[in-house]
Structure 1
């Protein structure tokens, strides 16, 4: 499904107004003419203005019957295989969240990425090498470089890394 420009315009307008509201509550600096809310106010105002423009464009397109007013079906929505892919990605991420603590980051990440890569490419060796490369990169970057502790799960019980 695809949200129309009117729908996205309303979302952007609401977000922009929300940012403006939060930014207006930020303290002003006694030393400068502007405070912590200065740049968020500019971003919020631009986001709200973009939302208004997008909403107006959506209304004009709906009146000219070139686009749905709120919600329309895009081309991929008519293909069952695409829905299966979407379900597999969402299910895989939920499974990852449930299994990352007991199994650990490395085996869970390998399973998730290899399974999805196999589904999307259909090539087992490419899926496996991609999974090993991505998980190795993420492990080195987060665990070793950034110092973020990743769940070790089974590896901690077997001697760990």
Structure 2
């Protein structure tokens, strides 16, 4: 019985030792220069898969033919990207005020929109020569009472 116990104990001690010696090695990543990699792997020529190449060529040709054979639906006649703006009705304005509004609008639509702004400010004595004084806040405005009365007569709101 003692012998059997001794063999059992030795077996239990030896068994884990035998298993510990047989651990598998895991793959590792090794940093190599290109020349070292070529030495280890060797030269591998490029191998092109001909069936994949034919399938890709066929798909490209089909896409090109689809683009070339595209047909526009005949039901679409005309597309308006920007609607035509309605012309303003200035018949209720006096002829002088109509000319003034057209001069301001023409100035604003020109290549230099400040022309329209200075046309508006001309009534208040502001032009290109004294605009620098306005930036510093030193310009005085002298309002013409006739202009104010004309604006009131044409239903302009003055505050």
Q: Which has the larger radius of gyration?
A: 2
TM-score bracket relative to the smaller structure? under 0.3
TM-score, structure 2 length as denominator?
A: 0.22
